């Protein structure tokens, strides 16, 4: 089904399928499974069985399902699966604003809306491009491993900033942030790469967060506490500033 066009009038074909496992996770699952076999051979079943279950958990963590990305010039789609835990007015990270010597301007200074998406260990951890365009910056910053659900994790944790620019000059920045358990951010892209909206850009291991900095004059279409899906949920529409309220039930 990869690359097929589907629409809201029934065009296309859809069926359930097992999600693939990203290659980054296969080696970890293999290591844990091998350890389980060694302990099973030694008749240490109290260790072998938990390791066997853990190897399945590792495979589940690195699952990489297909997603259906809505197409539209105004759509900004979610870069991560997870829970919307923060929606705030903030200044963008200076790494996305200051001149980096590349000759390509960064984000404009001044407060914008930031949407923070928290990924638990049960969520898919493959991250996707919120918009299509050219990757202008990929900035990795080592740091601490605080709970990714905390606001200060945006400035203190290990993180990686990405800046994408569309052909019409619209720029969008977002940040992958490592959490308590996550210890490595794995990029799939580099400056100069041209992406489609919803294309895979990287992953974060074992629990983390992604911050999205909406362009000025754009407000979220998602609500605080909402569960969203990478590459499918529309976070915002460019230029839209409508108040949307929800009810927890």
Query: Which whole number is the average pLDDT over 177-188?
Result: 76
pLDDT at 89: 95
Return the minimum-mean-pLDDT range out of 22-36, 135-149, 190-204, 207-221. Answer: 135-149
Query: Do residues 103 and 56 both lie within one domain?
Result: no
Q: Which domain holds residue 108?
A: 75-237
Q: Which of 61, 91, 115 is the last residue of a domain?
A: 61
**Structural domains counted in the chain:** 2
pLDDT at 19: 85
Q: Would the pLDDT of 1 be above 70?
A: no
Confidence band for 61, pLDDT divided at 50, 70 and 90: confident
Q: Which of 35, 61, 87 is the last residue of a domain?
A: 61
Query: Do residues 54 and 92 both lie within one domain?
Result: no
Query: Do residues 50 and 156 both lie within one domain?
Result: no
Confidence band for 184, pLDDT divided at 50, 70 and 90: confident
Query: Do residues 53 and 161 both lie within one domain?
Result: no
Name the nearest CA neighbour of 77 among 193, 231, 245. Answer: 231
Return the minimum-mean-pLDDT range out of 77-86, 89-98, 129-138, 205-214. Answer: 205-214
Q: Write down the mean pLDDT value for the chain.
A: 89
68 domain-assigned: no
114 domain-assigned: yes
Confidence band for 208, pLDDT divided at 50, 70 and 90: confident
Query: Do residues 164 and 228 both lie within one domain?
Result: yes
Query: Do residues 55 and 79 both lie within one domain?
Result: no
Query: Do residues 141 and 32 both lie within one domain?
Result: no
3 domain-assigned: no
Query: Do residues 124 and 29 both lie within one domain?
Result: no
Residues 39-58: tens digit of each pLDDT: 888 888 889 899 999 889 88
Q: Supply the pTM of this predicted model.
A: 0.87
Query: Do residues 134 and 209 both lie within one domain?
Result: yes
Query: Do residues 196 and 88 both lie within one domain?
Result: yes
169 domain-assigned: yes
How remote is the C-alpha of 216 from its chain's centroid?
Answer: 21
Query: Do residues 82 and 196 both lie within one domain?
Result: yes
Query: Which whole number is the average pLDDT over 152-181?
Result: 85
Q: Is residue 208 flagged as an active site residue? A: yes
248 domain-assigned: no
Query: Which whole number is the average pLDDT over 99-109?
Result: 88
Query: Do residues 36 and 119 both lie within one domain?
Result: no
pLDDT at 201: 96
Catalytic residue among 55, 116, 154, 208: 208
pLDDT at 27: 85
245 domain-assigned: no
Query: Which whole number is the average pLDDT over 109-132?
Result: 93
């Amino acid at each position: 089904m990869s690359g097929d066009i589907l629409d809201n009038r029934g065009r296309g074909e859809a069926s359930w399928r097992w999600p693939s496992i990203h290659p980054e996770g296969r080696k970890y699952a293999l290591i844990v499974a091998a350890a389980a076999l060694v302990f099973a051979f030694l008749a240490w079943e109290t260790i072998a069985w938990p390791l066997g279950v853990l190897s399945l958990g590792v495979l589940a963590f690195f699952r990489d399902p297909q997603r259906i990305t809505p197409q539209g010039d105004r759509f900004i789609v979610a870069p991560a699966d997870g829970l919307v835990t923060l929606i705030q007015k903030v200044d963008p990270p200076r790494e996305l604003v200051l001149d980096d010597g590349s000759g390509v301007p960064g984000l404009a200074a001044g407060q914008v809306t930031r949407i923070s998406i928290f990924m638990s260990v049960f969520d898919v951890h493959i991250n996707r491009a919120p918009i299509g365009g050219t990757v202008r910056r990929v900035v990795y910053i080592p740091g601490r491993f605080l709970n990714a659900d905390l606001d200060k994790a945006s400035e203190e944790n290990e993180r990686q900033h990405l800046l994408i620019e569309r052909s019409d000059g619209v720029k969008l920045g977002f940040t992958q942030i490592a959490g308590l358990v996550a210890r490595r951010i794995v990029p799939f892209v580099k400056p100069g790469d041209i992406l489609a909206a919803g294309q895979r850009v990287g992953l974060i291991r074992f629990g983390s967060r992604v911050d999205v900095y909406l362009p000025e004059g754009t407000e979220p279409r998602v609500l605080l506490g909402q569960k969203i899906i990478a590459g499918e949920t529309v976070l915002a529409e460019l230029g839209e500033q409508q108040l949307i309220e929800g009810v927890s039930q």
